[in-house]
Amino acid sequence: MVGAMLFSIATQLFAQTKPYNVVFDLTTGDTATHHRVIRWINSIIAGYPDAKIEVVFYGKALPMVETAQSSVASDVKKLAAGKNVIFTVCEEAMKIHNVQKNMLIPGVRTVPDAIYELISKQADGYGYIKVTN
């Protein structure tokens, strides 16, 4: 009986927990949705300090990470400076919307292809969340 109890305790102590890795797919220019994503990110980090989060932007979502247009610029800058969150913008979308790299909030990264970035993160075990209005 005692042996079974010790085994149970040891199993719980050494059990691996699954990492909290998530990629958000954001294509909307809706500022209320931008604020919601920031709230989600802050909640995840508060509950899971080792979480890895990436937000991938394309379509009409680029204003969220543009210095002159973002309604959440200070939040993006602060989160991008930390260890948990990566904000990634599609370079093809930047061309279509006439956005230059120097227009992005400091710390925001770019990738050639947002779809490939999303697929790659999923292949790496990230959970996929499509953000909608």
Q: Which pLDDT tens digit goes with each residue over 2-53?
A: 555 444 544 444 444 788 999 999 999 999 999 999 999 999 999 999 999 9
Write down all domains in the chain, each with its CATH number in brackets.
20-131 (3.40.1260.10)
**Cα separation, 1 vs 36, whole angstroms:** 50
Q: Which pLDDT tens digit goes with each residue over 54-99?
A: 999 999 999 999 999 999 999 999 999 999 999 999 999 999 999 9
Helices 73-81, 31-47: axis angle to 10 degrees equals 30
pLDDT at 5: 47
Distance of CA 68 to the CA centre of its chain: 21
Alpha helices in 49-127 (DSSP H): 73-81, 91-96, 114-123
pLDDT at 10: 47
- The reported pTM is 0.86
